[in-house]
């Protein structure tokens, strides 16, 4: 064996020694090859060609401990064996493992017949082990960057779907769309398509999959009640406008005409946070009327009525819906003339509708809809106003005043928290973290872990369901190494303050801010609370006096 390799250069040299005829006894397939399967039909066809005209293109080998390992040409090698050849023409190269893998991957990816899963695993290897970027891979294999991105998406499929791509049961178009939704929705669709569905158990058409996703996972960002461009909202670091789960961020991947969120859990979390804030804002504004267009089924409407707020039901109000321009489909018309006429008529109707909408809007009042979390322009029917007026005005006023006391106390806490955040932002302590800060930090970290496939593990380990976290970032984590305890303490304090400086005292953020304040600035905490307590006492004294007068009047039957 030694005389086979005595003329070879040192390992790592890519220079070939020319074409040699190598005995098949000294050639073995490479364990580094990403291509796990080869089409038997293509091997048979190549065998016939070799028997007819010989092997036109030599295979590429590199020396190993037992002879030679195939770098490029395993299909040719198999065909030569099938043709009964004892020796195979080969180019010999000294290559390191890294160089061999790069050649193997590049050569395989440029050939036809490589499966999408094999491609995705190859791209992952190139990124993680060979430091390639998506742009580098695209240039290397002569494909668009969007092609590489779509293949990498497949690695996010749950195992049953991943295997079905391998077997061909799941078309690649289906797989790329499913890879963008949460694991639980992938599992639900898999059960629906391959287990529950009557008749043939299959992936079905792409049109049917789009319909299923739209009705089970999708949320149109244009209809969101929160600011989609806001970062660090509802505990989610990324803005929707830059999130990979936003179809508009990957226009090359999908053909949707409007941005859609493919992460329903995140969308729901942001919606709830925005809804709660919008409700608080609405009930504080005396010029806003509360309505419930969900026919008295909204939980928040029932809750506010119990607290003494007036909430009009859907049948008691009239609201305007902003007109939309009707879409005209060219395929519905026989000629361009008919189509253009239909477009003009649609535009004319839209202009008239908008004129009416704008005129009527001036006559209506602003109302907050507890069902949708959005503001509307409404008018209240006279019968509804009279029904409200017939209620016991004194009892209603008592409830209203008590509600104001309750809300006033909530606002007191908000004002204290606002002053604390302003003070603490410019008075951050130095030095190592204290026990209180560690306690807050643990709560913060726990609130951030458990995204995607990790959510089930976090819930199992801690008994707490958490589904959102900051994205993993190896470079960022490595960058923290070697930082002094004092600097780490300062970074954590700034992070805690920036993440929880929203003025919501009854939330987790409120608990963290007040807990930090007790350690950072106890003097200012006491001062701010006493200031607000004095204001509250004066305010409530007036309100309680009025309540006492009203209750006395009710008792006397006046």
pLDDT in tens, 55-85: 888 999 999 888 899 888 888 999 999 999 9
Give the DSSP letter string of 424-469: HHT----SSPPHHHHHHHHHHHHHH---GGGHHHHHHHHS------
133: pLDDT strictly greater than 80:
yes
Residue 325 sits in the same domain as residue 258 = no
Residue 329 phi/psi, 5° resolution?
-95, 125
Residues 361 and 413 in one domain: no
Closest CA to 417 of 506, 313, 325: 506
Bridge partners (DSSP) of residue 312 are: 291
User: Which member of 74, 102, 118, 176 is catalytic?
Assistant: 74
**191 lies in which domain range?**
154-269
Question: Which of 81-85, 254-258, 385-389 is the most confident on average?
Answer: 81-85
CA angle 317, 322, 324 (to 5 degrees): 145
**Range among 96-105, 165-174, 406-415, 436-445 with highest mean pLDDT value:** 165-174
* Count of domains for the chain: 4
**The two structure tokens encoding residue 523:** 């003097």
99-128 pLDDT, tens digit each: 887 787 777 766 656 788 888 888 888 888
State residue 316's pLDDT score: 81
Q: Which residue among 269, 298, 321 closes a domain?
A: 269
Q: What pLDDT band is residue 470 in, cutting at 50, 70 and 90?
A: very low
Position 368 in a domain: yes
Are 86 and 103 in a shared domain?
yes
124 in any annotated domain: no
Indicate the pLDDT class of residue 437, thresholds 50, 70 and 90. Answer: confident
442 and 461 part of one domain: yes
CA distance 80 to 70: 13
pLDDT bucket at 407, cuts 50 / 70 / 90: confident
How large a percentage of the chain has pLDDT more than 70? 77
For residues 231 and 101, membership in a common domain is answered with no
CA-CA-CA-CA torsion sign (102, 108, 111, 116): negative
Residue 350 has what pLDDT? 87
Q: Where is the domain boundary, 114, 135, 167?
A: 114
Is 123 contained in some domain? no
Residues 149-204 pLDDT 10s: 888 889 989 999 999 998 888 998 899 888 888 788 888 888 888 876 555 668 88
What ranges in 93-224 are assigned the alpha helix state H?
Answer: 97-109, 116-129, 134-141, 145-153, 159-167, 172-178, 183-191, 206-216
Predicted TM-score (pTM) above 0.75 = no
524 and 411 belong to one structural domain: yes
Same-domain pairing of 374 and 411: no
* Domain assignment of residue 142, yes or no: no
Q: Are residues 386 and 399 in the same domain?
A: no
Residue recorded with tokens 């991957």? 105
pLDDT band at 418 (very low <50, low <70, confident <90, very high): confident
How much is the average pLDDT of 11-20? 53
Given a cut of 60, whether residue 500 has pLDDT beyond it is yes
| 278 or 141: which leads in pLDDT | 278
Where is mean pLDDT largest: 22-26, 260-264, 353-357? 22-26
Going by pLDDT thresholds of 50, 70 and 90, the confidence category of residue 250 is low
Closest CA to 225 of 125, 373, 342: 373
CB of 102 within 8 A of CB of 32? Answer: no
Domain containing 91 — which CATH number?
A: 3.90.1530.30
Q: Is residue 522 part of a domain?
A: yes
pLDDT average, residue stretch 485-489: 68
Provide the pLDDT for residue 457.
Answer: 52
Q: Are 9 and 70 contained in the same domain?
A: yes
Q: What is the structure's pLDDT at 12? A: 38
H/E/C letters for each residue in 372-419? CCEEEEEEECHHHHHHHHCCCHHHHHHHHHHHHHHHHHHHHHHHHHHH
Counting Cα atoms < 13 Å in the Cβ hemisphere of 395 gives 8
- Per-residue pLDDT, 270: 92
The answer to whether residue 129 sits within a structural domain is no
The answer on pLDDT for 468 being more than 70 is no
Asked if residue 306 and residue 360 are part of one domain, the reply reads yes
Q: Is the pLDDT of residue 136 over 50?
A: yes
Overall average pLDDT of the 376-398 stretch: 66
Mean pLDDT of the chain: 78
Residues 354 and 470 in one domain: no
Query: Is 50 exceeded by the pLDDT of residue 8?
Result: no
In a domain, 456, yes or no: yes
User: CB count, 10 Å around CB of 555?
Assistant: 8
Q: Which whole number is the average pLDDT over 14-38?
A: 73
Per-residue pLDDT averaged across 255-277, rounded?
Answer: 80
Q: Is 45 a catalytic residue?
A: no
- 80 and 62 in a common domain: yes
Residue that has been written with the tokens 């009042």 in this structure: 365
Calculate the alpha carbon distances from 234 to 153, 226, 230, 508, 542 in Å.
Answer: 26, 10, 10, 11, 38
Long-range contacts formed by 68-72: CB under 8 A, 24+ apart: 68/22, 68/26, 68/27, 68/28, 68/92, 69/27, 69/28, 69/29, 69/30, 69/100, 70/27, 70/28, 70/29, 70/30, 70/33, 71/30, 71/95, 71/100, 71/103, 71/104, 71/107, 72/103, 72/104, 72/107
How much is the pLDDT for 242?
Answer: 84
Instruction: Look up residue 356 and give its two tokens.
Output: 């009416």
- Is the model's pLDDT at 18 over the cut of 90? no
**Residue whose tokens read 């009892």:** 395
Is 121 part of a structural domain of the chain?
Answer: no
Compare 477 and 442 and report the one with higher pLDDT. 442
> What is the secondary structure of 79-110 as a DSSP string?
HHHHTT-SEEEEEE----HHHHHHHHHHHHHT
Q: Tokens 């801690």, residue?
A: 462
* Number of Cβ atoms within 10 Å of the Cβ of 22: 19
Distance CA 151, CA 528 (A): 57
Last residue within a domain, chosen from 242, 269, 296 = 269
Tokens of 283: 């009930």
pLDDT of residue 196: 65
The predicted structure's pLDDT at residue 439? 62
User: Cβ distance 169 to 201 under 8 Å?
Assistant: no
Q: What average pLDDT does range 124-133 have in this prediction?
A: 82
């Amino acid at each position: 064996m030694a005389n086979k390799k005595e003329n070879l250069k040192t390992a790592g040299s890519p220079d070939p020694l020319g074409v040699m005829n190598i005995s098949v006894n000294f050639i073995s397939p490479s364990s580094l090859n990403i291509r796990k399967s080869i089409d038997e039909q293509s091997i048979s066809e190549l065998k016939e060609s070799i028997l007819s005209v010989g092997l036109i293109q030599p295979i590429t080998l590199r020396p190993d401990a037992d002879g030679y390992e195939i770098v490029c040409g395993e299909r040719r090698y198999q065909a030569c064996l099938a043709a009964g050849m004892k020796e195979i023409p080969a180019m010999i190269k000294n290559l390191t493992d890294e160089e061999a893998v790069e050649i193997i991957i590049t050569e395989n990816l440029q050939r036809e017949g490589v499966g999408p899963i094999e491609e995705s695993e190859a791209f992952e290897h190139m990124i993680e082990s060979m430091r390639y970027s998506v742009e580098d891979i695209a240039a290397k294999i002569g494909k668009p960057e969007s092609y590489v991105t779509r293949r990498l998406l497949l690695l996010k499929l749950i195992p049953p779907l991943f295997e079905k791509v391998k077997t061909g049961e799941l078309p690649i178009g289906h797989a790329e769309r499913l890879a963008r939704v949460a694991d639980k929705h992938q599992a639900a669709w898999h059960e629906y398509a391959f287990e529950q569905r009557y008749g043939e158990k299959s992936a079905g058409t792409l049109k049917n999959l789009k319909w299923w996703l739209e009705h089970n996972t999708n949320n149109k960002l244009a209809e969101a009640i929160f600011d989609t461009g806001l970062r660090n909202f509802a505990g989610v670091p990324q803005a929707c406008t830059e999130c990979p789960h936003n179809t508009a961020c990957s226009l090359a991947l999908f053909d949707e005409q409007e941005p859609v969120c493919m992460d329903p859990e995140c969308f729901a979390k942001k919606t709830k946070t925005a809804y709660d804030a919008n409700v608080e804002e609405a009930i504080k504004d005396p010029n806003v009327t509360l309505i419930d267009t969900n026919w008295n089924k909204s939980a928040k409407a029932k809750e506010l009525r119990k607290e003494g707020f007036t909430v009009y039901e859907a049948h008691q109000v009239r609201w305007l819906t902003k007109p939309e321009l009707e879409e005209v489909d060219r395929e519905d018309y026989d000629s361009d003339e008919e189509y253009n006429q239909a477009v003009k008529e649609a535009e004319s109707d839209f202009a008239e509708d908008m004129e009416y909408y704008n005129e009527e809007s001036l006559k209506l009042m602003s109302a907050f809809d507890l069902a949708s979390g959005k503001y509307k322009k409404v008018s209240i029917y006279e019968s509804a106003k009279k029904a409200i007026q017939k209620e016991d005005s004194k009892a209603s006023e008592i409830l209203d005043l008590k509600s104001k006391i309750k809300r006033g106390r909530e606002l007191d806490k908000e004002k204290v928290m606002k002053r604390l955040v302003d003070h603490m932002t410019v008075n951050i302590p130095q030095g190592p973290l204290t026990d209180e800060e560690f306690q807050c930090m643990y709560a913060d970290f726990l609130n951030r872990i458990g995204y995607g496939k990790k959510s089930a593990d976090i819930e199992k380990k801690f008994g707490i369901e958490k589904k959102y976290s900051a994205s993993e970032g190896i470079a960022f984590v490595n960058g923290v190494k070697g930082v002094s305890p004092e600097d780490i303490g300062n970074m954590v304090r700034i992070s805690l303050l920036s993440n929880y400086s929203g003025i919501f005292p009854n939330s987790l953020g409120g608990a963290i801010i007040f807990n930090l304040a007790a350690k950072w600035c106890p003097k200012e905490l006491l001062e701010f609370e006493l200031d607000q307590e004095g204001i509250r006492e004066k305010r409530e004294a007036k309100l309680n006096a009025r309540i006492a007068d009203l209750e006395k009047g009710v008792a006397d039957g006046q």
